[in-house]
Structure 1
C-alpha cells in the first residue's frame, strides 16, 4: 500500500479538530489540533453559528498541525471533511453567507412544520400523503422541527429579503468545500438528510416531486457527489489562506453520522457503533431501507455506496456531562485544579478534567441509589420527538449526595442509548460486540457502565475522539486508491480496549431502566405546560 499524508477537518458543534494522518499499512494519526467556537442559542428556539468562525478555525488549526508535525504542505495528497449534519447554510452566487448558519439544534420552525406536514388526514401525526410519498421516495420523512426543510421554510417566510439572495442551500461541510474549491456540491449522505433525496435503488438524485410537495426550489440544491469523489483542487485563494499547496485534491467527505462509523471501523453489514460526543446515536450498517416511524429510527444513506446506517439519534449526550462539569461538579474541579501545575497548560488540564470527574464517582453505588436522570436538556428526537422535553432528577432523598447526582447523569445518558439500541434491535439486529466512540468513550469508567447497562461487549478504538477525522481520512485514502476495498478499512483501525458486562449489576440497571422509560410519558404534559 502506498503511503502518504492526508489532512482532515472534523467540524463539530462546538469546535473543529484538524488531524494529519499517515496512510501506510494502517491509519496513523500523526498530529491534531483543536479550536473551539461559539453557538448562539436564541430565546425563540434558534441555534446559530457564524460560518466564518469555522473557516478561521481551519486556518489556525492547519498552521498548528503543520508546525507541530514539521510537515511540508507539499506532502499533503488530499483533504476532506467530517461535519455536523442537518444544518442550513444559505449562500449567494459568490458563496458568501446571506445569514448566520442554522445549526441542527435549531428548533424555531414549529409553525412551518405544522403548516407543512401536520394537517389533513394523518398517520402517526403526519399528513398521510406527504408521509407515504416521503417514505417511498427517500425512505424517511421530515418529521422533526429540527429538520432542514423547516429551517429553509422559516427563512423563506420570516426573512424574505434574505431569502431572495439565496443561490445555494448547503450544509456545513459543503460550505467549506465551496470555500476550498468554488464548487457547489452536496454528498449523498447530506443530500439524504434534507429528506428531498431519492434514495431508491438506481436513483440517487434530488426528487422534483418532494421539492414541489414541500415548496423547495430545486435550483437551490447543488450537484450530488459521492463521499470518495474528488470535488476539485484547492483554489489559489484558499491555499494561501490555509497555508497549503494550490490544487490539493479536495474530496466530498461526509457528515458525522456517516464518517464516525467509518472511523470506528463499523463498515460491514451488521456492524453496530455507539457514538457519544455533544450529541449521540446508535447506528448499524445495513443494505436495507427500513424505517420505524413511531420510534423515529430510519435507514440513512451512508458513506459507502449501496449501504445504509440504521440510525437513532440522542439529542444531548456529552452536552449533559459538560453541564455537570460547569454547574454541578465545581468542588471536584477546584480540588483538581489545585493539584495541577501552571506549566501543565490548558489543553493538558482540559483533556484529563472529565476523567478526574468520573474518577470521583467511580466508587458510588451502581444505580445511583435509585436516582434517575433524564438527559433531555435540549429536547429530544428519538424514540420520541419533543423539543419541550427537559432533564429531570427523579427520586432524590435527604440522603442523596452530589456525587450520586453526577453518577445518575452518566447512567441516564446511557439508559437513553439502551432505549434506542433495543428499539433498533427490534427491526435491525445489532451486533453483540459494539464499537464505542466519541469524546465520552475516552473514559474507561463510562465504557464499563455502557457494557453493564446495555448487556453488550464494548470495544474502544485507538483515539476514539478522532474517529470522524479518521473516517474522513479513510474516505480520502479510498478515493486516492490507497485502500483498494472499502471493507479493508475495518482492519486498518485497531482496537485499544474491550469491556464485558458485569452480571452483578444487571438487576439494578434493569429496574432503573424500566422507570427511566416511564418518565417521559408521565411528564409529557408537564413539559408542554412549562416550556411553551
Structure 2
C-alpha cells in the first residue's frame, strides 16, 4: 500500500539570497525561484520545495513496502518506487506553482548500493536489491577468497561485502541465471526512476562510486571490477557528473507540473548529500547521524581509505569526496525493542509502549545499565568489521535486571557502535573539531546525552530535518549557476549543543573496553549460529 502525506513547512519564506539573470526574470514575472530536492529512500520517497536560502517550504511524502520475505533479503518493487517518486514530485511541483514559485531545477537523492536487472526497454526484470540485502554473502566470501580484498578496497573505497554490487550481481548469475542472462543493464533504483522520467539511462559518479565497480582514482567503471561481477561495461549505465542535468522531454515536465526550462539534475547518494545538507562542508567537521542506521561522515578533498578497511569513501561532486563509516543497527534496534514490549502488552490487553516510554524507562537506571551490555547486531554489521553474519547479544543479564536496564542498554549499545566508527574516521580524515548530529535520535535528549558521554565529545545539534533533500537541492542550485560553489551553500543553523555528562564518561570508557573485548570473543561463533538460523523454516 502507498500512503500519502503532504505538508507545508512554511508559508511565507523570504526572497532568495541571490538573484541571477534568470531569477530577476522570474521576479519581474511575479514568480520566485525555487528548487525541489527529491529523496528516494528505503521505505518512502520525499520531495521538498526549497527557497534559494535553503528554507524548506513544503514536503510531500509517499511510503512503499520493504520486501523482506527471507532473513537477509531486503528489496523494493521498482515500479512502486517509481510511481511514488513521481507522485511526490508532481505534488511538490503543483504546490510551488500554486504559490507563485517557479521551479528552476530538481535534484535527486537516493539510497546507495541498490541494483536491479533491466531489459532493453528500461523495464525491471526483478526487484531492486537495496543496501540492507545480504543474500550475496556467499558470493562476497568467494570474491575475498579469490582476490586481494585490501587492494580492491583501496581502489573502490568500499570493502568486499554483500552490500556492494559485485556480490549481488553474482547472486543473480548463480541463483537466477535466466534473469541474469536476460538483463541488458544492471543499475540502481535512482537510475531506474530517471530512465522512466527521461528515457535516458545514466548514473552519476557519486552513486557509481558506492557500487564496488567504480575506480576512485580514475573516476570511471573499472573493467576488471566489472569482470569480478560477471558483466562488462556494456551492461552498466553511462556516467555523468552529479551536477549535470539530464535531458527530459518537455511533455513529461508538463505532465508532472514542472516548467519547460526546469533542469532535472542527476544528484548523488543520500548519505553523501545528507553530509552537506547538515552543513558539513570543510575539513575538521563531521556529522554523526543516528536514524534507522547510523553513520559518521566528513568531507575530504581526495579519496582517503583506511589501512584496515574500516571506512568507506564515495564521490560527492566537483573534486570533493565523503569519507565515512556506517552501522546497520541504530534506530532499527530501538524499534525492534519497542515491538517486543508491544507484543507483550497486546497479549496482556494493555497499552502498547511508545519510544518515549522506552527512553523514560532507560532514564530510571544509572549509566552502564547495571553492567548489562548489548551488542546490537540484529541486522549484521557494516563498519568497522564488515561482517554480514554478526548477531546480537545481551551480556551480563542477571535477576537484578528488568525492562528498564534492557532499554538503557539498547541506547548505550548503539552509542558504543557509533564510537567504533568515529575512531577509524578520525584516523583517516583527521581529528574532528566539530561533530554535528542529525537523525531521529535528536528527538531524545537522553539518547543524545548518552552518545555525547560515550564519545566524550561535545556535539552540535543542527536544524536540518530535510538534509538529504537539501543536499540534492544544493546540487540543483549549482547546476543552474544560481550557486557559485558548494562553499556558498545555504548555512545550516545550529540549534543547540550536547555535552558529556559529568560522571558518565568514566563508566562508559570502562564498559566500552569490555564491549570491544566481547566482540572479539563472539566473532568466531557468528558463522555457525547464522548458518543454523538460515537453515530453519521461515
> What TM-score range do you get, normalising by the shorter chain?
0.7 to 0.9
In the alignment, what sits opposite 2:362? 361
Change (3 A) 1:277 1:238: farther
- Residues 246-265 of structure 1: CA deviation (Å, up to 9, x unaligned): 56311011111210101011
In the alignment, what sits opposite 1:252? 266
In the alignment, what sits opposite 1:481? 481
In the alignment, what sits opposite 1:347? none
Report SS of the residue matched to 2:409.
helix
Counterpart selection for 2:222 from 185, 207, 210: 207
In the alignment, what sits opposite 1:517? 516
TM-score (norm 2): 0.86
Counterpart selection for 1:227 from 242, 262, 268: 242
Q: Shift of residue 445 of structure 1?
A: 2.7
* C-alpha distance in 2 between matches for 1:497 and 1:461: 7
* C-alpha distance in 1 between matches for 2:236 and 2:455: 41
Residue range with higher mean Cα deviation, 55-64 or 164-173: 55-64
In the alignment, what sits opposite 1:109? 136
Is contact 1:266-1:285 (8 Å) kept?
yes
In the alignment, what sits opposite 2:54? 27
In the alignment, what sits opposite 2:317? 304
* C-alpha distance in 2 between matches for 1:68 and 1:324: 39
Give the 5 Å matches for 1:489-508.
Answer: 489=489, 492-508=491-507
TM-score (norm 1): 0.87
* C-alpha distance in 1 between matches for 2:164 and 2:346: 37
Report SS of the residue matched to 2:407.
helix
In the alignment, what sits opposite 1:318? 331
In the alignment, what sits opposite 2:457? 456
Q: Does 1:46 align with 2:73?
A: yes
* C-alpha distance in 2 between matches for 1:332 and 1:362: 21
* C-alpha distance in 1 between matches for 2:410 and 2:254: 44
* C-alpha distance in 2 between matches for 1:112 and 1:521: 24
* C-alpha distance in 2 between matches for 1:389 and 1:182: 41
* C-alpha distance in 2 between matches for 1:89 and 1:263: 28
Q: Shift of residue 414 of structure 1?
A: 1.0
Counterpart selection for 2:170 from 131, 153, 163: 153
* C-alpha distance in 1 between matches for 2:411 and 2:60: 27
Q: Which runs of 5+ in 1 are unaligned?
A: 120-126, 340-349
- Residues 239-296 of structure 1: CA deviation (Å, up to 9, x unaligned): 52x4545563110111112101010111112321112222221112222433225353
Change (3 A) 1:99 1:275: same
Q: Shift of residue 525 of structure 1?
A: 3.1
Q: Shift of residue 364 of structure 1?
A: 3.0
Q: Shift of residue 67 of structure 1?
A: 6.5
- Residues 136-161 of structure 1: CA deviation (Å, up to 9, x unaligned): 6x353551122111111111222222
- Residues 366-419 of structure 1: CA deviation (Å, up to 9, x unaligned): 221221111211110211122221121211221212122112111111110011
Change (3 A) 1:197 1:525: closer
Is contact 2:68-2:74 (8 Å) kept?
yes
Give the 5 Å matches for 1:307-456.
Answer: 307-328=320-341, 354-355=355-356, 357-456=358-457
Counterpart selection for 1:171 from 182, 188, 201: 188
- Residues 13-51 of structure 1: CA deviation (Å, up to 9, x unaligned): 12222211111xx21011223332211224363222101
Residue range with higher mean Cα deviation, 499-508 or 423-432: 423-432
Counterpart selection for 1:285 from 299, 314, 323: 299
Counterpart selection for 1:118 from 135, 142, 145: 145
Q: Does 1:236 align with 2:263?
A: no
Q: Shift of residue 209 of structure 1?
A: 3.4
Q: Does 1:17 align with 2:18?
A: no
* C-alpha distance in 2 between matches for 1:89 and 1:492: 37
* C-alpha distance in 2 between matches for 1:70 and 1:244: 8
* C-alpha distance in 1 between matches for 2:68 and 2:191: 23
Report SS of the residue matched to 1:97.
coil
* C-alpha distance in 2 between matches for 1:511 and 1:386: 25
Residue range with higher mean Cα deviation, 50-59 or 229-238: 229-238
* C-alpha distance in 2 between matches for 1:451 and 1:258: 23
Q: Does 1:94 align with 2:121?
A: yes
Q: Shift of residue 107 of structure 1?
A: 1.2
In the alignment, what sits opposite 1:193? 210
Is contact 2:461-2:497 (8 Å) kept?
yes
RMSD: 2.7
- Residues 340-369 of structure 1: CA deviation (Å, up to 9, x unaligned): xxxxxxxxxx9xx54454345334322212
Counterpart selection for 2:198 from 181, 197, 203: 181
Change (3 A) 1:213 1:357: closer
* C-alpha distance in 2 between matches for 1:198 and 1:448: 40
Is contact 2:186-2:236 (8 Å) kept?
yes
Is contact 1:234-1:247 (8 Å) kept?
no
In the alignment, what sits opposite 2:10? none
Residue range with higher mean Cα deviation, 64-73 or 186-195: 64-73
Report SS of the residue matched to 1:107.
coil
* C-alpha distance in 2 between matches for 1:463 and 1:299: 23
State the aligned residue count.
Answer: 501
Change (3 A) 1:396 1:230: same
Report SS of the residue matched to 2:363.
coil
* C-alpha distance in 1 between matches for 2:171 and 2:250: 33
Report SS of the residue matched to 1:224.
strand
* C-alpha distance in 1 between matches for 2:270 and 2:247: 21
Q: Shift of residue 74 of structure 1?
A: 7.0
